[in-house]
Structures are given as C-alpha cells and as structure tokens.
Structure 1
Amino acid sequence: MNCSKFIRRGLLPAFLAGTLVTGLAEARTVSYATGYAPGSIGAKAAEAFATDLEEHSKGDLNAKVYAQSLLSFSEIPPGIRDGMADSGMVLTPYFPSDFPSTNLATELTMLIEMADAPTEKVGLAFAGAMAEYVFFNCPSCVQEYQQQNQLFTGGGGTSSYFLICNQPVKTLEDIKGKRLRIGGAQWARWAKELGATPVSVPQHETYEALSQGVVDCTVHSAPELTIVKLMEVTSDMTPNMPGGVFSGVASSVNADVWQSLTADQRRSMLHASAAHASALSWGYAKIAATNMQKAEEKGIKIHQPGADLVKVTREFIEKDLETIAAKYAEDHGIESSAELVDSFRSLLGKWVELVQDVESRDELTQLYWDEVYSKVQVDSYGQ
C-alpha cells in the first residue's frame, strides 16, 4: 500500500497513522465512533464490539469507543470516509442518496408482521437478515459503501414499533383522523392509507408533542418509554401495530484500514461486529420487555389491535412492497429493486425461524457468526 498517497490526500486514518509513527509490533487500536450517548443501549453495544475484538484477536487488536463525542450520527459516514474515525455506526436512512440499496431493505421493516414472529424476537431476526442481505444478496449495497471509502461489517435492529398514545386506538375507526408521530417513510404511508395524519417530530420533542396533544400517538419502540420518558405522558398502547423495527443500523470500517489488516484481523473485526449486532438487538429486546411490564404496572392500558385494523394493515404491507420497489427504481435507478425485495423477504422468513430458540446474547452472537459473518471471504471482500 502506498501510504504517502493517503497522507497527501489527508485520508490516513488514525489507526494507520499510529502504526507509522510508532513502528512497533504491538497491539493496534482502532477507533469506533457512535452517536449514542454513554450508558445507552448503543454505547454498550459499541463496548461489546471493543471487548470482543480484543478477545477474538487475542490482544492483537483493540478498539477505543467514542460515544457521542468524536462524531455525531450525521458526521459518522463522512468521518469514516475521510479517516477521522476508523470505524463506527452508520444510520443509513440519514443518507438516502449514499445508501439507497441498503435503505430499500430498511423500508421493508413491516414485513416482519407477516412472518408472525414473536414480538421479543423481531429485532434479532431483522438484524440477521440485514447482515446476510448486504454481505451476500446485494452487490449494489457493498458497492455503495465502497463509494464512501468504507465497508459494511454488520447490522442491528431495534425492538418492535407500535402505537404509544394518549387515548385508546384499537380499531380502524379509532385510528382515522388521528395525528401520529412517525419516524419512517413506510409508517407514514401506512398512516395515510388508514386515514391518519403522519406528523414529523424529532424524537427529543415527542414527549412534549404527546403531552400537549400535538399528536395523539407516536409510533415508537418500548425502550423509548424510558429513554424519552414517554411513559409519563402515555395512557394507552397498542403493541404490534403497525409493527416493524428500525433497522437502518450498520457498522462500517474505513476501506484503507480494512486493506491494512491481516486476514485474521479482518475476521476478528467481523466477529466483533457480530457481537455488536447481538448486543444492540438483544439490548433493545430486553429493555422493551422490562418497559412493557413497568407500563402495565403503572396502569397504562395495553390493547390488542382489532381484527379490522390487523386486516387492513396486512393488506397495506403486501401492497407497499410494490410501492417500495417502484420508488427505489425510479428515485435511485435500482433496476433490480423488485428482485431485492423478494430476496429480503425470503431472508427474513429464514431468520424468524433461526432466532426462535435463541435464549441469550452469547447464543445470538454465535448464530450471527455461524450463519453470516464467518462466511465473508475476507481476502476478497472489498476488493
């Protein structure tokens, strides 16, 4: 590798710079940036990445985690591209023009409801499906990361999204005319289809919007009941409606860093990314279960969606598959969009089955590793 070229371009990552300056054959340290705050689910997942990297590499590689400090979420992809961080967590929906093939799959999130997956396992399944999709089923996904001078090394998924409200919303009639805080295009389309009004509200303003009646409900996951303190302003909840998860979560590594690693070191990076994916997805699932129990104990009414609401939602999900494929073909020129939709749907069904017997985070890491991450050809990936 011609390091002087990267020095002149200003693209030499901290990892390589440290190696050149010291010239010592000692443990190498990569930086990992995340926009999550210290102590949060995401920050703990990043620490799991660091711990696993050191253990799997037998001390050959270490990671220094920068939680909400080195780069914000909006700065991470260009920061990794330009070498300000060696690796980090990318929220791909924040960058629709940079990661369109990846984002196509993230809009298929409501498909999980068609697979009848247990609520506590939806994020686990989606994370596995996303990783397999990007690594092996979506060449254009790999290419769009390379165009940003980085490589995808893993995914993740939150717990289920559902209606968190200040009034009962159980039926199709209930939801008509309601103002719903929405955090994704697919949920906005669903709201409009059912006669509700989607409203864009930043997450940190959701508490006030719900408490003051600016919105009637927010579509969020259960961890936000405590993270954003929504439990204080919520009276009613309807789980599994509309369903789906936030899965636009990717770990990536600077391409020049990846090229500088040995084959064993690359495998360790991938294993650590599998550990990160399981820590993130498992962490969301555990806190979701805890918060749902707390909400019930607090007296928040938990409703099951009516048959009419379920029926119309499932009809919407099937119809929206064509909408998504057409949207990404027209807006981003992805000619294989319909095939990618079919591919991802098949993967998701497979992963619902794979995760059903997982009972611990360690088991989930092993499953991700065995089924996906260990199969990446480290000598050719990213070439």
Structure 2
Amino acid sequence: MKLGMIASSVLAASIAAIPYSYAQRTLSHAHAYPSGTLPHEAAKQYAADVEAFSGGELAIKVYPLTLLSGSEMSDGIRDGLADSGQVLTVYFPSLYPHTNMVNESSMQLQLFDPDLVDNGRGALAFEGAMSEFIFEHCPECNQEYADQNQVYTGNSASARYSLLCTQEVTELAHMDGLRLRVAGAHWSRWIHELGGTSVSMTIGELTEALDQGVVDCTASALPELINLGMTDVVTDITTDIPGGVYAGASTASTNQDVWQSLTPDQRRALLKAGAYYAAALPYESVIRVGQTLDRAREAGIRIHQASPEVLQATREFVEKDLRRNIGYYATRHGITRGEEMLAQFRELLEKWVHLVQDIDSTEALGDLYWNEVYSKVNVLEHGV
C-alpha cells in the first residue's frame, strides 16, 4: 500500500509537471562578446530574469559570439536566426539613423557639471534618457526597428569612453596623424577636428588591429580592455577623452514575429527583464572601470589625463558638433526634425542626470528604469 501510494504520488507529480514543461518556450538570445565578459554575464542574468518574470513560461538560451557577430546581428534577428540580440546600431548607419543621431550627442556630457556626471553617473543618466526617448518620443526610431522586423525592448550604454592606445596621447600635438578606431561618427568628427584620422571596424577586429599597428588607439569604454583581451597590446590609456558613452544599442532587440506571438504578460516580462538588463551594463561597467585601471597598472600600462588644451578643444568641438550633427543627418539620412529631437533629448538628459544621483546598485538602477520608463510601455500597442 505504501509503495502504491508513493507510485501514485510520483505519477501525479509527473503529470502535473507535463503542462509546465510543454508551456515553457525557449527563445534564443545572441550577443557579440565572448563568454566570461560583462556583456555575457549581464545576458545570463537577463535570461534568469525573463524566466522569473514570466513565471517560467519563457526561457532564454544565450549565445555569446558564436551565433551572430556584431555585423550580422541586425539581419540575423530580422531573419529569425536569433529570437533576440544586442544590436549595435552604429554598425548599420543607413538602417538606424534616428537612433544613431541621438546616440551621437553623448559627448555633450562633457558640457555638464563634472560633479553631476563624473564617477559614472553620466552613463547612467544617458542610458535612462535614451530609453525614455526611444520608447516615448521617437516613433521614427521604433519604425527603424520595425523596418528590420524587430521590436525595441531595451537599451544599453557603456561607461565613459577613453583612449586605449599603443602610445601616449595627452597633448594636441599627439593628435596629429593619430589613427583612431571609433564606434560612432561623432568620435570620428572629433579626431578629424583635432588632426587625426578615424578607422571603423568591429570589436572582433580591434585587438589585432592595435597589435599590428593598423590603428594607434581605440575610443572605447575602459572595461573593453578586459572584455576584448587588449592588456597585451595597449600601452597607454588617457581616461578623460574623448568622453561620451555608447548608448546606440538595443540590448535585446526582438524579432517582431516572435514578439507578436507572445502574450501581453510575456511581453511585459521581457520589458521588465530588459529594464534590469539595461541597468546592468552601464552600472557594472562603471564599477569595473576602477578594477580595469588596477589591472592595467599591473600590466604596466601607463595611465594619463588629457592636457587642459585638449579638454578645452574637446568642449569647443562638442558645442559645434551638436549643431553640425543636425545638418549632417538631414543631408545624409533625410532626418527632418533633428533640431526638435535633440532639444527634447537634452531636456530628458538633464532630468535623468538628477534622477541617478543617489543610485548605489544595479538593482536600484533597474528599479528606476522600470518605474520611470519600461513599466509605462503599452504592450498591446508597442511592436504590433
């Protein structure tokens, strides 16, 4: 009798588990970084959050680097090779011009009071402003994703951009002829203005390019030194130029057919997980800046700050470039309301600079992003 009761209990448990097993749906998520890096760890946490917030109805399988490269990501998600992925819009200037134009205003952080934006708070603020702007104020941005059979479900931002180089770059004279790998047209315009030349390439090519002398420096967030294994090739870091952040990334851009096949609650789960995903990348990147500098010093890399002349030249460039950017995108990409967009974004950025002042954890930042932005997205209308 006892054995029969046990058998019946096991059978009942097995039967109860069947609907859950069949109900759970696994989605693939791709990014262009190796295992063990911050982006991969953030993606794994995103997967855990999706499963938790969906009550186990959704699971995420993360593919680091192997499924799609950065340059393949947009088309791969469009065509369903991955259900979602981190789209770095700078790789696709003709596909995401509105998104890129706003992202390329990030050097305006150099014009804010350093007491408000230093220690990483500028990155946290820019990320929040970028998310709010795209979700609530940029139908053109969302249409860009829709044109690629994608739905925007979250953003990501880097820590402040610095120069990672194979030589010292601190003076205006050092800029003359400097070959700089850039991840955005604004940084390209900056180095040209100061006398150097820009080179565009994917992150997968970067370490070898520095090692072989194809470029002298990369403008990158400091944690990329570790993420991309550059400690053996970089000899000098200048921490405070060019400044700005990279926030033109849809962290979990989702295939539109997949999104539309989800229930409203499942879409909301993706958005909530996306809010914390959006928080993890800039906050943890900022935390790792200090750790990266320690690793750099241990590796014998020299740490510098730019001269006052270079900082002043950079601020003067930013003020001109914010105006020039409007004309550039109107002529090159047909953007008709660039001035209105950048003015609106500036108001959001000023608001977010103050919102993030007391943030002291990834969880607190995720809560802020969720409460201020992501929870307000209408899942019955967004992406459908």
Query: Residue type of the partner of 1:34?
Result: H
Paired with 2:32 and 2:235, the residues of 1 have a C-alpha distance of 31
TM-score (norm 2): 0.86
Pair 1:54-2:51 in alignment: yes
Change over 3 Å in CA distance of 1:23–1:271 after alignment to 2: closer
Query: Residue type of the partner of 2:356?
Result: V
Deviation at 1:245, TM superposition (A): 1.7
Change over 3 Å in CA distance of 1:208–1:152 after alignment to 2: closer
Matches within 5 A, 1:25-36: 26-36=23-33
Task: For residues 295-336 of structure 1, give each alpha carbon's deviation from its aligned partner in whole angstroms, at most 9, with x where no partner exists.
Answer: 234553322222221111111011111221111111221101
Instruction: Give the unaligned 5+ runs of structure 2.
Output: 1-18
Q: Across the two proteins, how many residue pairs are aligned to each other? A: 362
Paired with 1:193 and 1:353, the residues of 2 have a C-alpha distance of 32
Paired with 2:215 and 2:27, the residues of 1 have a C-alpha distance of 43
Which residue is 1:6 aligned to?
Answer: none
Deviation at 1:375, TM superposition (A): 0.9
Paired with 2:257 and 2:207, the residues of 1 have a C-alpha distance of 42
Change over 3 Å in CA distance of 1:81–1:199 after alignment to 2: closer
Paired with 2:47 and 2:206, the residues of 1 have a C-alpha distance of 33
Deviation at 1:202, TM superposition (A): 5.1
Paired with 1:154 and 1:78, the residues of 2 have a C-alpha distance of 18
Deviation at 1:156, TM superposition (A): 0.3
Aligned-residue identity in percent: 47
Deviation at 1:25, TM superposition (A): 6.3
Tell me the SS of whatever aligns to 1:219. strand
Task: For residues 171-191 of structure 1, give each alpha carbon's deviation from its aligned partner in whole angstroms, at most 9, with x where no partner exists.
Answer: 323433433333322111111
Pair 1:64-2:65 in alignment: no
Matches within 5 A, 1:251-262: 251-262=252-263
Which residue is 2:227 aligned to?
Answer: 227
Paired with 2:261 and 2:122, the residues of 1 have a C-alpha distance of 36
Paired with 2:234 and 2:72, the residues of 1 have a C-alpha distance of 33
Which residue is 1:135 aligned to?
Answer: 135
Deviation at 1:210, TM superposition (A): 4.1
Counterpart contact for 1:44–1:279, Cα < 8 Å: no
Change over 3 Å in CA distance of 1:24–1:211 after alignment to 2: closer
Deviation at 1:212, TM superposition (A): 5.6
Paired with 2:234 and 2:207, the residues of 1 have a C-alpha distance of 9
Task: For residues 162-221 of structure 1, give each alpha carbon's deviation from its aligned partner in whole angstroms, at most 9, with x where no partner exists.
Answer: 122344332323433433333322111111111223344554554455456554433222
Change over 3 Å in CA distance of 1:333–1:360 after alignment to 2: same
Task: For residues 248-305 of structure 1, give each alpha carbon's deviation from its aligned partner in whole angstroms, at most 9, with x where no partner exists.
Answer: 2102222222222222221111001112112222232222220112223455332222
State the Cα RMSD in Å.
2.4
Tell me the SS of whatever aligns to 2:292. helix
Change over 3 Å in CA distance of 1:202–1:136 after alignment to 2: closer
Match of 2:91 among 75, 91, 94: 94
Deviation at 1:227, TM superposition (A): 3.0
Paired with 1:215 and 1:290, the residues of 2 have a C-alpha distance of 25
Match of 1:78 among 72, 75, 80: 75
Task: For residues 108-136 of structure 1, give each alpha carbon's deviation from its aligned partner in whole angstroms, at most 9, with x where no partner exists.
Answer: 12122222311423332222122111101
Tell me the SS of whatever aligns to 1:252. strand
TM-score (norm 1): 0.86
Which residue is 1:266 aligned to?
Answer: 267
Which residue is 2:11 aligned to?
Answer: none
Which residue is 2:293 aligned to?
Answer: 292
Pair 1:155-2:152 in alignment: no
Counterpart contact for 1:34–1:73, Cα < 8 Å: yes
Change over 3 Å in CA distance of 1:153–1:287 after alignment to 2: same
Counterpart contact for 2:33–2:227, Cα < 8 Å: no
Paired with 1:138 and 1:125, the residues of 2 have a C-alpha distance of 18
Tell me the SS of whatever aligns to 1:75. helix
Tell me the SS of whatever aligns to 2:60. strand
Paired with 1:205 and 1:224, the residues of 2 have a C-alpha distance of 13
